[in-house]
Amino acid sequence: MTIPAIEPPIEKITEFCHKWQVTEFALFGSVPRDDFRLDSDVDAIWRYHRHEPLGL
């Protein structure tokens, strides 16, 4: 069963990207298509630019 299109949480994604110096972010797989289901995984890829080592 597919689920209706959902709006991604743009503000949260933007916050994540700023925090981790992400320069490119993309969702792929079933997420951007109309066959995304409740049991689907979320495929994401990103590129980040860092001048310093990352740490938690």
Predicted confidence at residue 10, as pLDDT, reads 87
Predicted confidence at residue 37, as pLDDT, reads 78
Write the pLDDT tens digit of every residue in 1-56.
656 666 778 899 899 999 988 999 988 888 777 788 778 888 888 898 777 676 66
Distance CA 2, CA 36 (A): 6
Predicted confidence at residue 2, as pLDDT, reads 58
Predicted confidence at residue 14, as pLDDT, reads 92
Q: SS3 letters for 4-38?
A: CCCCCCHHHHHHHHHHCCEEEEEEECCCCCCCCEC
